[in-house]
Amino acid sequence: MALISPSRRLRRTPFSEGVEAAGVKAYTVYNHMLLPTVFRSMQEDYRHLKEAVQVWDVACERQVELRGPDASRLMQLLTPRDLRSMLPGQCYYVPIVDETGGMLNDPVAVKLAEDRWWISIADSDLLYWVKGLAYGYRLDVLVDEPDVSPLAVQGPKSDDLMAAVFGDTVRDIRFFRYKVLDFQGRDLVVARSGYSKQGGFEIYVEGSDIGMPLWHALMEAGRSLDVHAGCPNGIERVEGGLLSYGNDMTDDNTPHECGLGKFCNTQTAIGCIGRDALLRVAVEGPVKQIRPIAMGGDPLPGGCDRFWPIRAGDKIVGRVSSAAWSPDFDTNVAIGMIRMTHWDPGTEVTVEAPDGTRPATVKDNFWI
């Protein structure tokens, strides 16, 4: 691996001080911000995430805030998911599509009030798309990036850690719901959500100044729980089939190709910009789709830094976009997009990894 050159453009976060003190070894860049990727080692971080509890600096999940009379109208313009029955207190995973149905981001929408939303974004400047539309449509809405930096608490002991800091009320928060809870006199949105399958919370830290106080409070309260600084784990997220925008999907893909058809209410999401384009694909289905792929051969030495072609004989039928060796499932786990001719579970294919061709099998479900 090469080094990463520091610069102001790769923004630090309100938690960077804590991340550095915890001995971060590697980063990626996400929304022009540093996102840790390794603390002890990918494997140690993985094991610990599944057994204890970690605090993650995911400040790079920047927020796009919509405020004003047209906020809900604008929100529905962005996504084919029908938002009419969504209430304040809820979070929805919302594919965002352009007029061709191509995905521009796959964020979580947080409804704060009828006229106020946060969109907790994946890695693209969704702010620019939303601002462009709001201006072009002359909507009565303010759109900006507020000083809100999510901090995630993930792992099986998350409830215990969070209860120690925020009180037992956190235990009652349902999946993809949030409560507004007090920390040192500040109201923070605390949601049961996060980018792992191990359970946990995301705290929307409003105000950079309380970033490190909250970090320290969690670390202090979690000593007996073996709390450690962590980050989204490249093994665990592939096992769990958690997609990554920019890795597993781009604006070339429809939500249906990404297996996100269940979040598209193309019949009823009136106003959505991509609705017309998605009506046909919703009926006929996509011709290629994301699938879990089990890859044979030796444990992969690293991840997937480019598309690896999937072949059936001499025909290319898809590509792998994320992959890792899974200690728990004793196989190489991968996320691929594959043509319908070869996407049935059990289909045998080959994957052209950089270190050679590997046998692979299309699976019916992800591992977790």
Residues annotated as binding site for substrate?
Answer: 202
Query: Counting contacts by CB under 8 A, is residue 269 touching its own copies?
Result: no
Query: Counting contacts by CB under 8 A, is residue 54 touching its own copies?
Result: no
* 98, 115, 160, 352: residue in contact with its own copies (rule CB under 8 A): 98
Query: Counting contacts by CB under 8 A, is residue 246 touching its own copies?
Result: yes
At its nearest, how many Å lie between its own copies and the CB of residue 254? 16
Which positions ≥6 away from 281 have C-beta within 8 Å? 101, 254, 256
Angle, vertex CA 181, rays to CA 39 and CA 122, nearest 5: 45
Query: Counting contacts by CB under 8 A, is residue 321 touching its own copies?
Result: yes
> Using the 8-state DSSP alphabet, how is residue 301 labeled?
S
- 25: nearest Cα among 34, 13, 12, 14: 34
Query: Counting contacts by CB under 8 A, is residue 61 touching its own copies?
Result: no
The residue (of 159 and 248) whose beta carbon lies closer to its own copies is 248
Cα–Cα distance for residue pair 43/9, rounded to 1 Å: 30
* 304, 337, 338, 368: residue in contact with its own copies (rule CB under 8 A): 304
Cα–Cα distance for residue pair 321/9, rounded to 1 Å: 27
* 87, 184, 185, 306: residue in contact with its own copies (rule CB under 8 A): 306
Query: Counting contacts by CB under 8 A, is residue 179 touching its own copies?
Result: no
Query: Counting contacts by CB under 8 A, is residue 8 touching its own copies?
Result: yes
At its nearest, how many Å lie between its own copies and the CB of residue 6? 4
Give φ, ψ of 29 to 5 degrees: -115, 135
Name the one range near its own copies by CB under 8 A: 188-196, 280-288, 300-308, 338-346: 300-308
- 25: nearest Cα among 45, 40, 12: 40
Name the one range near its own copies by CB under 8 A: 8-16, 146-154, 198-206, 283-291: 8-16
At its nearest, how many Å lie between its own copies and the CB of residue 340? 23
At its nearest, how many Å lie between its own copies and the CB of residue 223? 26
Q: β-pairing, 96-97 with 148-154?
A: unpaired
Query: Counting contacts by CB under 8 A, is residue 28 touching its own copies?
Result: yes
* 63, 154, 322, 332: residue in contact with its own copies (rule CB under 8 A): 322
Q: What six digits make up the tokens of 59?
A: 């400040």
At its nearest, how many Å lie between its own copies and the CB of residue 14? 12
Per CB under 8 A, which of residues 124..143 are in contact with its own copies?
124-137
Per CB under 8 A, which of residues 273..292 are in contact with its own copies?
273
* 167, 296, 302, 359: residue in contact with its own copies (rule CB under 8 A): 302
Cα–Cα distance for residue pair 303/279, rounded to 1 Å: 36
The residue (of 156 and 246) whose beta carbon lies closer to its own copies is 246
At its nearest, how many Å lie between its own copies and the CB of residue 42? 9
> Using the 8-state DSSP alphabet, how is residue 81 labeled?
S
Query: Counting contacts by CB under 8 A, is residue 301 touching its own copies?
Result: no
β-sheet bridge partners, residue 190? 179, 203
Q: What six digits make up the tokens of 259?
A: 């297996």
* Number of residues that make up the chain: 368
- 283: nearest Cα among 258, 259, 263, 261: 261
Q: What six digits make up the tokens of 48?
A: 């610990």
- 65: nearest Cα among 139, 9, 120, 140: 120
Q: Give the count of residues interacting with its own copies (CB under 8 A).
A: 53
Beta-carbon count within 10 A of 356 CB:
9
Cα–Cα distance for residue pair 149/204, rounded to 1 Å: 6
Cα–Cα distance for residue pair 328/367, rounded to 1 Å: 10
The residue (of 133 and 294) whose beta carbon lies closer to its own copies is 133
Annotated binding site: 202
Pattern 216-245, binding to its own copies, x per CB under 8 A? ------------------x---------xx
Binding site for its own copies (CB under 8 A): 1-10, 12, 24-29, 32, 37-38, 98-99, 104, 123-137, 234, 244-248, 273, 302-307, 321-322
